[in-house]
Amino acid sequence: MPETPAASPVPARRMVLMRHAQAAPAPFGDMGMQADLDRPLTAHGRQAAASCGKLLRARRFAPELVMVSPSVRTRQTLDAIGSFYGDRQPDIRYVNALYDAMPETIRDLLYEVPDNISNIMILAHNPGLQALVARWAARHCPPGLENALHQGFPPASMACFTATRAWNQADDGDIRLTGLSCQ
């Protein structure tokens, strides 16, 4: 009787949730939404984002899809990250709903990700990102990351997650925190 090959493990899907790097404040006295959207990165923010890019390349992270808030600071963070691992360019989508998004809004965006997309990055803002990271980490937090989670999710923070099911089918229990980098 011929041997049946062992079933290969389902490849893990990887996702990075990242908060934009440090941005300059809006001009004095200008408190409108457009002033907030137009805030650029500081020199420190550009350096921190570049460091995040080095870390992502070292971890061989190659997203197929990057969803980005349309704000200047998130777009500049993506630019400062530089290239990802490998030579394939991701599909970059600027998603208006990511600006000032609640955790549920960010979560709902995953239901729109096609089945064939395994690795994604979402680049957005607090408080929505921090709340979603905390929600998913509460279910599956690797030892040693609890203290980092209590420090919040400052600018240029990244949380790495995996799932074995497609992002548009995964429920919260399928999404597992695997790493955390808080600048």
Does residue 138 lie in a domain region? Answer: yes
Does residue 75 lie in a domain region? Answer: yes
Query: What are 164's two structure tokens?
Result: 């074995």
Does residue 1 lie in a domain region? Answer: no
Q: How far is CA 103 from CA 29, 57, 63, 130, in A?
A: 29, 27, 21, 8
Among residues 155, 162, 91, the alpha carbon closest in space to that of 125 is found at 155
Does residue 173 lie in a domain region? Answer: yes
Does residue 3 lie in a domain region? Answer: no
Does residue 2 lie in a domain region? Answer: no
Q: How many domains does the chain have?
A: 1
Q: What is the pLDDT along the chain (183 residues), one digit of tens a residue?
A: 344 444 445 558 999 999 999 999 988 877 788 888 999 999 999 999 999 999 999 999 999 999 999 999 999 999 999 988 887 799 999 999 999 999 999 999 999 999 999 999 999 999 999 999 989 988 777 777 766 666 788 999 999 999 989 999 999 989 999 988 876
What is the domain extent for residue 152? 13-181
> What is the domain-level CATH number for residue 92?
3.40.50.1240
Does residue 80 lie in a domain region? Answer: yes
